[in-house]
Amino acid sequence: MDKLPKIVIVGGGFGGLYAAFTLHKKPVDVILVDRRNHHLFQPFLYQVATAGLSPGNISQPIRHILSRSPNIRVLLAEATEVDPERRQLHLADAQIPYDTLILATGASHSYFGHEEWKPFAPGLKDIEDAVEIRRRILLAFEAAERELDEARRKALLSFVVIGAGPTGVELAGALVEIAQHTLAHDFKSINPAQARIILLEAAPRILPTFAESLGQAATQYLTKRGVEVRTQTAVTRISSGLVEAGSQRFPAQTILWAAGVAASPLARTLKVPLDKAGRVLVHPDLTIPGHPDVFVIGDIAAFHHQGNKPLPGMAPVAIQMGRHAACNILRKIQGQETLPFHYRDKGMMATIGRNAAVAEIGPFRFTGFPAWVVWLWAHIFFLIGFRNRLMVMIEWLWAYVTFSRGVRLITGDTTLASRRSSSDRPN
Amino acid sequence: MDKLPKIVIVGGGFGGLYAAFTLHKKPVDVILVDRRNHHLFQPFLYQVATAGLSPGNISQPIRHILSRSPNIRVLLAEATEVDPERRQLHLADAQIPYDTLILATGASHSYFGHEEWKPFAPGLKDIEDAVEIRRRILLAFEAAERELDEARRKALLSFVVIGAGPTGVELAGALVEIAQHTLAHDFKSINPAQARIILLEAAPRILPTFAESLGQAATQYLTKRGVEVRTQTAVTRISSGLVEAGSQRFPAQTILWAAGVAASPLARTLKVPLDKAGRVLVHPDLTIPGHPDVFVIGDIAAFHHQGNKPLPGMAPVAIQMGRHAACNILRKIQGQETLPFHYRDKGMMATIGRNAAVAEIGPFRFTGFPAWVVWLWAHIFFLIGFRNRLMVMIEWLWAYVTFSRGVRLITGDTTLASRRSSSDRPN
């Protein structure tokens, strides 16, 4: 038994998990290391941030997902460094030797060198972030209800979302629903529907990675619902309650960051070339230069697909890479050569809110209600765990019929004055 | 409009909320102040602590519950002091004048003068507590999976619950289910079923407020399921990973406090006589000595029912007191005399786990499956919000059929080393 090749997977996101699925009951000894006990369905994270779903609805214990794989062990631990020379993964308090490593630790947000913006404009990458954003959104309305000063009240009811990729669009769409429907009848002094939701994007159009017609459709949906969409507006400064873009000033109590991503810092410890976002430039077979026993997959990998831009950081890419890396490992064990990775484009989609989304799947482009239905089913299909699927569908059916949101819970500090960064406030 | 009597209710628990319901559309101007935005269904808090329900399932925004009451405003604010002479409620940053005050701020846990025990043995009173306890329970199993030292592993798999009232019994019952069923197949190095769950009680029997036969039945259920029940065992010292009761030592990583309660510190600011637990000794009509315009209800009140022990701190008492205080206020406005409060005993119950509970309702005493069904329906009936009822029923049906628990989520710090108190880790 001890002679089986030892595969260490770091990260239990889509990439790491699908690599593990592919190694299920194969003649290898697998350890999956994650600093969280749960797999997180990141595409629904904005729903937790906007009080639509509970954290428990979009997460599942990694240990439980893999409980039927006798050859896979799950370890809750933080990896601090990879030593590819000695073939060791360093944890905070131990080392794990490996024969083959799969690095799948994903990405976090990047403030483009302005780390000082972080406390004022939290990003959305984990449950803690989502609960902190939920807290800020709900507290802003509560504080506005008590505020007597008109300018201050306006700032409390202003929400700026920076970055109009799918996450920014989804956040802005959900915010406008909260203001106009969910909270519409709950306040006595303010009218939540007067909230101002501003979506800022530095590029000439929103959803810049999508087809141009879809970006236009999304702009129309958002504008019609009341979101102020400002393209070609690059943020130059963020301070407490104020976003500046050149000479433009946007006073807003609540500022959300959905702009940049940076690869997990573990990438740097490999000591191989990285791209500007800190992602590892991988070989076509997903290994790294000089170390055919190290595979890098998912958001932490920069894979240049047929000479084009690197593949985007999204679940279908990570899933296919995870499967492919595992297959290549099994091929090597059988003495076969590794195969280059080819991404089968499953399309991409973003939702604007109820009954509205944009989607491109192969040559087809959908907008509006059909796109929304496609978005809904595609996402529920990939959500792990039958129970989670069931609960999410019920929450949504409920929200769809009643316009309400189930998880309007403020936890932690209930004073707005606090300016601690999101990392200080666990869920 | 401004001439309507101004009623201020402090606290949106069962007492405050049912007082507000009774004042719905009556000729009074009501402000309900709570430092949380949500009403919390405390009887299910142990379910959040043991990963069975999400925080969102057992909480509902107070503002939303009361949104159809045009004469009731809800304020998210922390009350710091009552000034009964000037008829003012002090908030951190403002004062609210009142004509009549209803104080319903409940109770928290008491360590009987041993505040230094708190970081080692968190209690269970709010969502933050529950999420912290969930974190500790799940992390203990994770750490045990990695631990090589036998004694240390045993301590990681030992759980001590201090106090065998309903909450302690429910926590112990849920812990044994987690160990023997939920986690049974998820670990490779440890057998979670070998976890030791110890329930300590200083009194001669568990559930001391229940009929003796029910305490005995509960002891039998717990013992049969594998809980070590130790009565007449008064804790004398708690330190990191160790509970001492005289010469007895219980090494355990996870220690939960379910023993004492202390009334909200707001009681002291009234400057009227309090009992040993800090509760306000109220008149038969629920007002306080010297201030017929201040009503004190729920867990913060000590009401001596027909010369007997004060009524226990539980939801039916708070609900009836809330209604009664509101009715007395309306009577006074109409020039009538206030009426003395009479508690209609609805019985009490505690669940041990699946298919087992104990309940006494009037002259009837139930145990086992019938008591469990009574417990289930009585609790779901009082859970506020149809959506929450639906979700909880589905979660439970799911858990009942599969033996799994839906919300096995560790958030916040994932290192056991941390010893911060629960108040530092918001949900």
Per-residue pLDDT of chain B (427 residues; tens, 9 = 90+): 458 999 999 999 999 999 999 999 999 999 999 999 999 999 999 999 999 889 988 998 999 999 999 999 999 999 999 999 999 999 988 999 999 999 999 999 899 999 999 999 999 999 999 999 999 999 999 999 999 999 999 999 999 999 999 999 999 999 999 999 889 889 999 999 999 999 999 999 999 989 999 999 999 999 999 999 999 999 999 999 999 999 999 999 999 999 988 999 999 999 999 999 999 999 999 999 999 999 999 999 999 877 778 898 999 999 999 999 999 999 999 999 999 999 998 889 999 988 899 999 888 999 999 999 888 888 887 787 767 777 777 777 777 777 777 677 777 776 664 333 333 333 3
B258 touches chain A (CB under 8 A): no
- Cβ within 8 Å, pair B409-A56: yes
pLDDT score for A116: 96
Please pick, among A147, A170, A177, A395, the residue that the annotation labels catalytic: A170
Q: Find, among A84, A41, A7, the residue nearest to A329 by Cα.
A: A7
Q: What is the pLDDT of residue B395?
A: 76
Q: Which of A409, A415, A416 to mutate to test the interface with B (most CBs of B within 10 A)?
A: A409
Model confidence band, residue A415 (pLDDT cutoffs 50, 70, 90): low
For residue A423, the model assigns a pLDDT of 35
State the pLDDT at residue A114: 95
**B397 at interface of A, judged by CB pairs closer than 8 A:** no
* Full-model pTM: 0.90
Question: What mean pLDDT is predicted for residues A406-412?
Answer: 74
Q: Are the CB atoms for B32 and B98 separated by under 8 Å?
A: no
Nearest CB to A67: which of B38, B67, B185? Answer: B185
Which three-class secondary structure state does DSSP give residue A366? strand
Three-class SS of residue A84?
Answer: coil
Helices (H), A71-149: 127-146
Q: Chain B interface, mutation test: which of A48, A186, A418, most B Cβ atoms within 10 Å?
A: A186
Quick one: pLDDT at residue A260? Answer: 85
Q: Rounded to a whole number, what is the distance in Å from the CA of B398 to chain A's nearest CA?
A: 7
Mean pLDDT score, A166-178 = 95
Per-residue DSSP letters for B216-232? HHHHHHHHHHTEEEE-S
Neighbours of B7 (CB within 10 A): 28
C-beta separation of A20 from A66 below 8 A:
yes
The C-alpha of B417 sits at a distance from chain A's nearest C-alpha, in angstroms, of 12
Residues 125-164 of B with CB under 8 A from A: 127-128, 131, 138-139, 142, 145-146
Name every chain A residue with its beta carbon within 8 A of the beta carbon of B131.
411, 427
What pLDDT was estimated at residue A240? 95
CA–CA separation, A307 and B411 (whole Å): 40
Whose CA is closest to B357, among B43, B56, B39, B107?
B43
pLDDT of amino acid B422? 35
Q: Is B204 exposed, middle or buried (0-12, 13-18, 19+ CB in 10 A)?
A: exposed
Burial class of residue A361 (count of CB atoms within 10 Å of its CB; 0-12, 13-18, 19+): middle
- The conformational region for residue B112 under phi > 0 = left, psi -120 to 50 = alpha, else beta, is left
Residue A385 pLDDT > 80: no
B20 by DSSP, 3-state: which? Answer: helix
Is B146 in contact with B152 (CB distance < 8 Å)? no
pLDDT at residue A2, rounded to an integer: 55
Of B56, B394, B414, the CB nearest to A409: B56
Report the complex ipTM: 0.86
- How close is the nearest chain B Cα to the Cα of A204, in Å? 38
Average pLDDT over all residues of chain A: 91
A407 interface with B at CB cutoff 8 Å = yes
Catalytic residues of B: 170
Task: Please give the backbone phi and psi of residue B127, each rounded to the nearest 5 degrees, phi first.
Answer: -60, -40
- The SS3 call for residue A122 is coil
Q: Is residue B410 less than 8 Å (CB to CB) from chain A?
A: yes
Chain-centroid distance of CA B187 in Å reads: 32
Q: Distance between CA A359 and CA A369 in Å, rounded?
A: 11
Q: How far apart are CA B330 and CA B334, in angstroms?
A: 6
Give percent above pLDDT 70 in chain A: 95
Mean pLDDT in residue range A77-101 = 96
Question: How far apart, in whole angstroms, are the C-alpha atoms of residue B128 and residue B378?
Answer: 25
Q: Does B331 touch chain A (CB under 8 A)?
A: no
Check residue A400 and give its pLDDT.
75
A395 is catalytic: no
Provide the 10 A C-beta neighbour count for residue A379: 18
Mean per-residue pLDDT, A151-177: 96
Q: Residue A1: what pLDDT?
A: 46
Q: CB B73 to CB A188 under 8 A?
A: yes
Name the residue with tokens 């045009």: B70
CB atoms within 10 A of CB B246: 10
In B, minimum Cα distance to A385 occurs at B406
Residues 53-92 of A with CB under 8 A from B: 54-57, 59, 61, 63-64, 67-68, 73, 75-78, 92
Asked if residues B175 and B181 have their Cβ atoms less than 8 Å apart, the reply is no
Ordered DSSP codes for B32-100: EEESSSEEE-GGGHHHHHTTSS-GGGGEEEHHHHTTT-TTEEEEE--EEEEETTTTEEEESS-EEE-SE
- List all residues of chain B from 351 to 390 with a beta carbon under 8 Å from chain A: 387-388, 390
